[in-house]
Each structure stands twice: as C-alpha cells, then as structure tokens.
Structure 1
Amino acid sequence: MPDKTIKAMQLWRAFVPKWAFAPLSGEGASRFGGRWNPVGAPTVYAARELSTAWAEYNQGFVQHPALIAQLELRNAMLADLTDDDMLADFGCPADIHQCEWRMHLDKGEVPETHRLRLALIDLGYDGLIYPSFMSPGGSCVALWRWNGPGAPHLDVVDPDGRLPKTPASWL
C-alpha cells in the first residue's frame, strides 16, 4: 500500500464549552457513539473548515453555545472517503455517506460506517476524511488513534495557554 500519511493538517473543532479543559479527549463520541465510531470507542471529530465545524456541531438545529478550537494533526494515515476512487478501492458505495447510522444503532444493528471503520483500522488507518453532511462542500475528519505510542500527533492550537487545564474553571 502506498504511503498515505498526511504530514500536517489544520482542523477545527466545535464542542461543548464545559469540556474546554479536554479538547482532544474523544470521550463525547465514546459515550454516545457517532457516524464513524461505536459507543465505547473514543473518536475525535473535527472539520477541515471553520464553517463546517460550526455546522456539524449544531447539526442544523438550535444554535448552541460552543467553544471552537483550531487543531493541528501530524503524521496521520487517513482514508480519504471524499475520493470516489478510494471509496471504490474499499468496495464502498458513494451512498455510505448517507448511512442512517443512528437508526441502525436504535434497532440494535451495526451501521455500515462502523463496519468500514473496523476494516480501515485493520488496514492501519488512523482515521478518515469524509464529506460533511451538514455543510455541503465541507469535509470532516474522524480520528480513532492519536497521541499514543506510534499514533499521529494531535495538538490544540493555544499559543497563549487560554484553555483551562481542569474542569474546575466551570465551578
């Protein structure tokens, strides 16, 4: 397999302000599951554009308060599912992006996106790039491995150290 490692990528993440002390935890996705992860699997979801991060966070509904952080991802092997050729290489139909994953979970079924996640992990991918459902033309990243031994490096861009280090800032 050719090297598909992305040397550096700027990302944007909008998230609940209460979690300002842990912008890279992936625990929200772990608790509730997501399009590209089952419950119990920490995953960082971020967008490649600021406007996409905002649209994905609010899911087209009420505009909730959010904290938006810039992230830098380095040395990640990502499957680019915005590329039709790569989708075809994995034997995936283009309509996988319309997968009704919540409905499948509610029925006790495994969504096709979760099956693809497992296949990609087996192939050594750290995550994937996928088209935004809420922001046409935008794209997102779901990252399953980061900041561990042999994993890609993910940093929050906080040059002045403004993010809190503990949840005590909300007390």
Structure 2
Amino acid sequence: MRYTGLLYRALNPRWHREPLSGEGARLHGGRFNPKGAPALYTALSIATAIRETNQVGTLQPTTVVAYEADLEPVFDAEDAAAPAAYDTALEMLAAGDWRLRMRDEGKSPSQRLAERLVADGFVGMRVRSFARGAGEDDLVMVVWSWGPSLPARLTVVDDAGRLA
C-alpha cells in the first residue's frame, strides 16, 4: 500500500533536535526493529503517539512532532491477508514478551518479521498499536527507510523553525 498524509511522533526530549534519527530505536531495539536497525515509530494520531512513547509508568516529558509522509510500499498488517502471507498472526504481533524474547533469543519473532519485510522492500508497516489503553482504531506506522525523496519521503513539519 501507499501512505500519504500526516504522521505523529512523541519524542523523548533527548531526541527533539534529531526527529529523523531513529537512533533510540537503533540503540535499544523495538517491537518491530532489532537492535542495530534504526526505525521511526510514528502514529496516525497524536493520542496514539503519546500512548506509544509512554508505555511504562506515568506520562513523561514528551516533544510531539508531525511529519508529512509519502511512503511506498508499506506493509499493511491491518489487512488480515498480509500477515497471513508471512505466516504471522495478530497474536504474534501483539505478544507482550518481545523484550524477553529479544534478550533471550537475540531477536523477537516480531523483529524477525520486520527484517523479512525490509528484505522484501517494504519501507514501513501500518499496524495496530499494542500500547496500554490502545483500541482497534489506534494505528502506528513503523518506518524503516526514510529520507527527503520518494519512495520513502518523510519530512518534519517545523515551519516556525522551533527544532533548530
């Protein structure tokens, strides 16, 4: 699928001057990226972005950033046929033990899926948020490849230069 529109990300203020770095995900790994692979975890709504970045504990300081996106191809995990084509079920994507599996096995099943998708040319994945309190309509866009031009154009909305 192709995605064009706005995406939102609630950043740890440590990264607010580098909203396109993906460095935090590269250093620590995430549900859909192993350690060493940069990724941007964005959301289709501001509320979902805040839920995603504050999954543990109480709301922490956060910088919310908007991005203009034109991404293709995007793996659409919301289309039931797409995960099935990769022998994947929603339960595997939603598994809360991905951090333990990453620690014990080196990579979690969801991280291995992400590697397969990247190898198959996908620049990102649209998937339901599994953050605490998220509903079926809370969607995230995990972006593995991005830059200033197509097919994976992602630009920060900062008309007033507030991040400079």
- Relative to the length of structure 2, the TM-score reads 0.90
**131-140 vs 23-32, which moves further:** 131-140
Give the match for residue 160 of structure 2: 160
State how far apart, in whole Å, the 1-side matches of 2:149 and 2:159 are.
25
Q: How many residues are paired up?
A: 160
| 1:124–1:131 distance in 2 versus 1, CA, 3 Å | same
Q: Structure 1 109/155 Cα, relative in aligned 2: closer, same or farther at 3 Å?
A: same
Q: Say which SS state the counterpart of residue 79 (structure 1) adopts.
A: strand
> C-alpha displacement at 1:150, in angstroms?
6.1
Q: Distance in 2 between matches of 1:118 and 1:106?
A: 17
The answer to which of 87-96 and 25-34 deviates more is 87-96
Provide, for residues 23-61 of structure 1, a one-character-per-residue CA deviation record: whole Å limited to 9, x for no partner: 110000001010011111111111111100011111052
Q: Is the 8 A contact 2:71 2:124 kept in 1?
A: no
| Residue equivalent to 2:114 | 117
Does the aligned pair in 2 maintain the 1:69–1:156 contact within 8 Å?
A: yes
Secondary structure at 2:114's aligned position in 1?
helix
Give structure 2 stretches of 5+ with no counterpart: none
Identity within the alignment, %: 31
- Tell me whether 1:61 sits opposite 2:57 in the alignment: yes
Amino acid at match of 1:40: G
Q: CA RMSD in A?
A: 1.6
Q: What per-residue deviation string (whole Å, max 9, x for no partner) do you get for residues 145-170 of structure 1?
A: 11177651111111111112xxxxxx
2:102 is the counterpart of 1:105: yes
Poorly superposed stretches of 4+, deviation over 2 Å: 148-151
- Alignment of 1:136 onto 2:132: no
**Largest Rg, 1 or 2:** 1
Preserved contact between residue 65 and residue 156 of structure 2 (Cα < 8 Å): yes
| 1:84 partnered with 2:80 | yes
